[in-house]
Structure 1
Amino acid sequence: MPTLLHLDSSIWPSGTSMSRDVMATFRGEWEARHPHGTVIYRDLAGEPLPHLTGDVFTAGNEDPLRATLASELEQADVVLIAAPMYNLTVPSTLKAWIDQVMVQGRIIGEQPSAAGTPVVVVSSRGSSYRPGTPRDGWDFVVPYLTTLFAGYFGITEVEFIVPELTSAPKRASRSEHIRLYEASRRQAHEDAVTKAKELASRFTKRPG
């Protein structure tokens, strides 16, 4: 049975957090197809990991926490990551996971042990950073994670689901964006379902 590694990082609870809700849609679709599979779950905001220190960095794979995180990543057939945009980049809690899990000679190095694992990233954001918008070029989530996974983890299959304008319902000045927000939200959930189905099908045994 396949294993899904599910990492939430939003500071907001389900029902309030767009990334958590879209992540839940993906996971629900995945589990419907693999009800006996394994899900490794970490709430990086609810139970944050410690930031990397010099001693822990030096210990590498000998550090129990880093070894555990590396093992969880290695076990995963698919990795599902919430990376809501906070101040133009990823949450510090997600960055702590990245720093801890990048064990030299195991996760990164000449033969990265999780190379080739598909990754799905849900990156919600309050505004829009698409080409042609006023904030075009301000997105430091998608380029960072794309480069990081390809350059260090040996992971080139990284799919981004990007619900935008999540602050529109909360700000009267952006009320004209509510329609675009609703469309983006619907599309994000649809994309989560589609991607979960596609990835789950890779691990479904066919008769004969």
Structure 2
Amino acid sequence: MTLFRLDTSIRTEGSVSREVADSVERAWLAAHPGSAVVRRDLASHPLPADAWARAATAGMTPPEGRTPEQKAAVVLAAELADELLAADAAVIGSPLYNYGVSQHLKTWIDLLIADPRLGPGQQPLAGRPLALVVARGGGYGPGTPREGWDHATPWLQRIFGDSFGMDVRVVVAELTLAEVNPAMADLRDMAAQSRSDAHALAEAAGRDFAGRALAASA
């Protein structure tokens, strides 16, 4: 059994998305002790910013005419796709940055789509479970002043759920900046509750994904 984990927070310490993703991983490992967890950390090991353009243009170039840089980008795209395709389940940590996804995550997704196996119309990941852990510094829920300002989560659901056909479960922790922002001090109880709820949902996802993987292998 293999769980693929992607971390995209620029913070390696104090990251809520990493912390909640830990809960998914712990629950998975509790059900499958010793099973493989393939991790990719895009903050510690960012992808080359020009890799997607080279992989995309390589797809429109005959193999014999590709530059060494294009060939390397194609290999990288295949490596990233291999990691996801080989997993029985996945968890992705995605903080909300400037109302969207991090540049690291966008590059990773673009490279996945550059691989022919995950290109438009291809769904080898159909039905594969994915926990999408979203951390938002403020409040973006219904009725809040910034309702609808989270442009990352709907896009990620579109890519992984609609384009890739994965079974996406969204786990959200909101108001994560309340502990460090004095202006948000009166929201700290709500932030703590949101964080606690996110951990509970993450643990449930990890257990469910493990059970599904076990049933599929039986």
Question: In 1, distance between residues paired with 2:77 and 2:52?
Answer: 12
* CA deviation string 1:52-79 (max 9, x = no partner): 3433213349611111111111101111
2:103 pairs with 92, 106, 123, which one? 92
Q: 1:147 to 1:205 in 2, by over 3 A?
A: closer
1:103 corresponds to = 114
Native 8 Å contact 2:121 2:163 kept in 1: no
Q: Distance in 2 between matches of 1:185 and 1:179?
A: 10
Instruction: Point out 4+ residue stretches in structure 1 off by more than 6 angstroms.
Output: none
Aligned 1:17-96 pairs, distance under 5 A: 17-51=15-49, 52-60=51-59, 63-96=74-107
Match of 1:167 in 2: 177
Output the amino acid matched with 1:42: R
Q: Number of paired residues?
A: 204
Contact 1:105 1:112 in 2 (8 A): no
CA distance in 2, matches of 1:54, 1:193: 37
- SS of the aligned residue for 1:154 comes to coil
Q: CA deviation at 1:116?
A: 2.1
Runs of at least 5 residues in structure 1 that lack an aligned partner in the other structure: none
* Cα distance in structure 2, aligned partners of 1:192 and 1:75: 22
What is the deviation of 1:118? 1.2
Q: Which segment drifts farther, 71-80 or 97-106? A: 97-106
Q: Distance in 2 between matches of 1:84 and 1:102?
A: 21
Letter in structure 1 aligned against 2:53: G
**Could you list the per-position Cα deviations for residues 133-172 of structure 1 after superposition, in whole angstroms to 9, with x for gaps in the alignment?**
01011011211111122332122x2111110101111111
Larger proportion of helix: 2
The percent of aligned pairs where both chains have the same amino acid is 38
- TM-score w.r.t. structure 1 length? 0.91
Distance 1:95 1:53, change over 3 A: closer
Separation in structure 1 between the aligned mates of residue 6 and residue 115 of structure 2, nearest angstrom: 21
How far did residue 104 of structure 1 move? 4.9
SS of alignment partner, residue 29 of structure 1: helix
